[in-house]
Chain A
Amino acid sequence: MKLRGYFARSAVIASMAIASAGCNAGDVFSAGSLAVSTVSAMMKPSGAGAAVVTGVSKETADDTKRLYLSTVKRGAAAFRSGVIAVSSDADVDRDNFCEMVLKDVAQVSDRGGLLSAAECRAKDQVDKMFDALERGDAAAFALAKGKAGGHIAEMETIIAAAEKEATP
C-alpha cells in the first residue's frame, strides 16, 4: 500500500511538471512511464521489493499490450468494413513495409497508409518494451512503453476520425 501512495503522488508530480512544460501526447506517455519506472527502481532495495517492482512492470506492460491489441483489432475491423479504405500507397502492400517505416523510407499519404505506418511503429515499441522487461532494463522499458502509447494514440485518432466520418 505504501508503494501505491508513492505512485499516486509521483503521478501528480509528473503531471504537474508535464502540464507546465507543454508536451505532446507521446512525451506525456513517456514521462509518465518514466516516472513510474524510476520510482519502481528506487523502491527495490530488497528481494521482496524487487518482486513488487517486476509485478508492477509486468502489469503496466500488460496494460499497453491490451491497448495495442484492442486498437489493432479496431483498425483491422475498420479496414474490413470499409470504414477505412485500403491504402493506395504502393509501399503499404510490400512485405517489408514495416522495415521501411522504421527506417523512415516508406511513403504514405492516405489514411490507410498513415494508420498502417503508425501500427508498425506501435508494434516495434511494444516488442522493445517486452525485450526491456525481459532484460530488467527499467529505463528502456519506460521509453518503449511511452513511445508505444504515443503511436497507439495516433492510431486511435486516425480510426476515430474515420469512424466519425462514416457515421451518418
Chain B
Amino acid sequence: MNVPPAVAQALLGLVRQAAERKLDGIGSSAFQSLAAGVGDFLDERQKRELKSYLTGARGEVQAAHDDFRQAARGKPAR
C-alpha cells in the first residue's frame, strides 16, 4: 500500500515546519481548511458521547492535579 504523493508531500512540509520550530505559525489557511470542522461531521449521539468522555476525563485530570499539588506542598491526600 502506497501513501499518495500529495499526502506524503503535505506531511513532509508540515514536519519540516515543526522541525524548524515554527509550530506556532502553522495556522496557514490551507492547514486550517484541512483541520477545520471535524466536529461538523458528528451526529448527535457521537457529540453526546464525546461530551460525556470529556466531562469524565477533565474530572480525572483535575482530581489528579489537585492531589499532586497537595503532595507537592507537603500535605496529605484529601
Q: Say whether, besides A75-B68, A87-B72, A42 and B7 are in contact (CB < 8 Å).
A: yes
Complex Cα distance, B58 from A138, in Å, reads 19
Assess whether B16 is interfacial by the CB under 8 Å rule.
yes
Nearest CB in chain A: distance from B76 CB, A: 8
Q: Say whether, besides A31-B19, A127-B61, A44 and B38 are in contact (CB < 8 Å).
A: yes
Q: Say whether, besides A5-B1, A44-B41, A136-B40, A30 and B23 are in contact (CB < 8 Å).
A: yes
Do B54 and A134 touch (CB < 8 A)?
Answer: yes
Apart from A21-B20, A68-B61, A138-B35, list 9 A-B contacts with CB within 8 A. Answer: A14-B15, A18-B18, A21-B16, A31-B14, A49-B41, A127-B61, A130-B57, A143-B23, A143-B24
Complex Cα distance, B45 from A132, in Å, reads 19
Assess whether A106 is interfacial by the CB under 8 Å rule.
no
Chain B residue with minimal CB distance to A86? B74
Assess whether A149 is interfacial by the CB under 8 Å rule.
no
Instruction: Give the A-binding residues of B (Cβ under 8 A).
Output: 1, 3, 7-8, 10-12, 14-16, 18-21, 23-24, 26-27, 31-32, 34-43, 46, 50-51, 53-54, 57-58, 60-61, 64-65, 67-74, 76-77
Do B3 and A65 touch (CB < 8 A)?
Answer: no
Number of chain A interface residues as a range: 35 or more
Nearest CB in chain A: distance from B61 CB, A: 6
CB-defined A-B contacts under 8 Å, sample of 15: A34-B26, A38-B11, A54-B46, A72-B67, A76-B72, A77-B71, A86-B74, A116-B68, A126-B61, A137-B35, A138-B34, A138-B35, A138-B36, A139-B35, A143-B26
Q: Kindly name the residue among A13, A38, A68, A130 whose own CB sees the greatest number of chain B CB atoms within 10 A.
A: A38
Complex Cα distance, B11 from A9, in Å, reads 11
Contact residue among B16, B32, B54, B64 (Cβ-Cβ distance under 8 Å from A133): B54
Q: Which residues of B contact A40 (CB under 8 A)?
A: 38
Q: Which of A88-115 contact B (CB under 8 A)?
A: 92-93, 97-98, 112, 115
